[in-house]
Structure 1
């Protein structure tokens, strides 16, 4: 997911997407224990997407607190 896509999301959308990606990451970890993954980059990309979204949430929080 690209940064401009994340920037266009609302807080609610970000939280839902983070939850979805964390569930997907748990599934990947589970399947990784059973057999090697087809594409190991999926794990890394999911973690990075989650980090980007959490960073955007934090930016939104800081922006709201500075405007208040």
Structure 2
């Protein structure tokens, strides 16, 4: 997911998407533990996407706190 798309999302959408992505990551980790994933690089991409979402959410919370 690109940063420009993340910035356009509302705060509620960010929170919802973080939960979805974390569930997806947990499922992928379980699948990876049981059998080999077709593309293990997806785990890294998913972790980075979650980090980007969390970074944007933290940035917005900091802006609200300062105002």
Normalised-by-shorter TM-score class: over 0.9
Q: Structure 2: where are the runs of 5+ without partners?
A: none
Number of residue pairs matched by the alignment:
67
2:28 corresponds to 1:28: yes
Q: Structure 1: where are the runs of 5+ without partners?
A: none
Aligned-pair Cα RMSD in Å: 0.6
- In 2, distance between residues paired with 1:42 and 1:20? 15
- In 1, distance between residues paired with 2:48 and 2:28? 14
Q: Give TM-score scaled by structure 2 length.
A: 0.96
**After the TM superposition, which segments of 4 or more aligned residues of structure 1 sit over 2 Å from their partners?**
none
Q: Give TM-score scaled by structure 1 length.
A: 0.95
